[in-house]
Homo-oligomer: A and B are copies of this chain.
Amino acid sequence: MSIHTLPFGNLIEIDRNSALPVFRQVANGLICLIRNGKIRPGYQLPPSRLMASELKLNRTTIVAAYDELSAQGWLEVTERRGVFVSKRLPGVSPRSFQADTEEEGLPGPSFYRRITERPPVSPELKPFDLMINDGYPDQRIAPLGAIFNHYKTLANRAYLHGQLMYGNAGSLSLRRELAVFLSQTRALNIQAENVLVTHGAQLAIFTAASMIIKPGSTVIVAELNYVLAGKLFEHLGARLIKVKVDEEGIDVDAVEEICKKSRPALLYVIPHHHHPTTVTLSAGRRVKLLEIIRRYQLPVIEDDYDYDFHYDNSPILPLASADHNGLVMYVGSISKTLAPTIRLGYLIGGSDFIWQASRLKQLAEIRGDVLFEESVAQLFNTGDMQRHIRRSVKIYKQRRDQFCDSLKSLGSDFARFVSPQGGMAVWVTFPEGYSLPQLSKRLAGKGIYMNEGSLYRYSPDINGARLGFASLNPDEMSKFFEGFRLSL
């Protein structure tokens, strides 16, 4: 074997049982080597006879592979000089998926949307020792084992396609359990037909909004608002009208003024633990908002993502539990109850609305994992879920108190916050001019991740971040504040 030939016999694996013809396997193997940089543009491949003996294959197979690669532009075959890896290969990215504009650093082709500016490729991120999130539950205290065990049992059943047939709106068991659970905890007056199970609460908001918004619709949102909801409404063609949020929640008088002048298609509101500020709508404003909804026939998406986690007072009842003639669509999350990886949310509405919404949802998601949904339904049915929530509330209340005590010790001039009545995060604002990106960088140097405020900096006078406390145990919290103090 020639001295400058790679050990292709070891580099290219041939599977004689594969459905893929052997010559294509050779060709694919060579493509991988080129793309990995193992063989580079201009590299001379061994002649077919030599390659054949190296791979213990027939020579015609190698000729076929070289022909294929030459046709695809990977190789240049010259009658006299031999077979070379093409010098016109694309650089980093594969050619077939790379538009010419990309290589030249121009914006991509014009046939698709630009959603946002693409950031320059960021350097490889080191794993962090500790991460401060946006307000996630602690999956370590969730009864995930019980879910998997139930799932296994179901998956081994002889015949389960029955469950799959009726899954457009979610597993019937889970819809029933949710109807009971939400009736008991939120006084929602619902049955299974009012429940649509979705893969995450975002899909519930997406589905409800897609049912209501048309291009040109106007949607009322809070000025400081859950960012992805606003972006979604704009994507669907809506114009946003923003109202202020203060310590009592959104300004409902402003909502009424808008309704007097025009006919908005939708109000999006987060009555409990408003995102990002964590304020809760006051009882007085709640009553007034219900009047406005009824008087102006104003459709509402009520996003109540962590109702179950209230520590000081009892939560106010959702708008959806009052009389609203089907105008309030209610969104909740099981991801917030169990673990951020568990993607389950729900949309509650009138039975016709939910039926139509389940048809629309199919266009993005035909169904969820019905067995998984059945397993979570079982968790409600046995009471494990309810016990888990009670236990979590106790634990998270302690964590909130420890977190807020530590925050307070930093000095009220520096980190401003109001201890939240519920939820999993504290909204902290910093003095004007204090650089959160710099803070975030110093924390990263200590192995701690904290968002640098970019998630919330959609208004120039906001310099804050949501700091999630629920997923940090006491040790982790101490470690965070140790690093935090040294980084200020």
Residues on A lying within 8 angstroms of B by beta carbon are 17-21, 24, 27-28, 31-32, 35, 72-73, 93-100, 102, 107-109, 111-116, 118, 125, 127-131, 133, 136, 139-140, 144-145, 148, 151-152, 155-156, 158-162, 164-166, 183-185, 187-191, 193-194, 199-200, 202-203, 206, 210-212, 215, 228, 231-232, 235, 265, 297, 299, 310, 314-315, 317, 320-328, 339-343, 348-353, 355-356, 359-360, 362-372, 390, 393, 449, 471, 476
Closest Cβ of chain B to A34, distance in Å, is 9
A439 to B351, CA, bound (A): 31
Task: Verify B28–A320 contact, CB threshold 8 A.
Answer: no
**A19 and B314 within 8 A (CB):** yes
Chain B residue nearest to A471 (CB atoms) is B161
Closest to A128 in B: B162
User: Measured between alpha carbons, how far is A144 from B199 in the docked complex, in Å?
Assistant: 20
Q: How far is the CA of A274 from the CA of B114 in the complex (A)?
A: 31
Known contacts A28-B183, A353-B112; decide if A94 and B190 are in contact (CB<8 Å).
Answer: yes
Q: How far is the CB of A27 from chain B (nearest CB, A)?
A: 7
Q: Once the chains bind, are B32 and A183 in contact (CB under 8 Å)?
A: yes
A112 to B349, CA, bound (A): 12
User: With A and B bound together, what is the CA distance between A486 and B125 in angstroms?
Assistant: 65
Do B96 and A322 touch across chains, with their CB atoms under 8 A apart? yes
Residues of chain B with a CB closer than 8 A to A166's CB:
125
Tell me which residues across on chain B come within 8 A of A350, comparing CB atoms: 93, 97-99, 102, 108
Contacts of A31 in B (CB 8 A): 183, 187, 189
Q: Measured between alpha carbons, how far is A299 from B109 in the docked complex, in Å?
A: 10
In the complex, what distance in Å separates the CA atom of A130 from the CA atom of B211? 36
Taken together as a complex, chains A and B put the C-alpha atoms of A40 and B18 apart, in Å, by 68
* Cα separation A4 to B183 with both chains bound (whole Å): 27
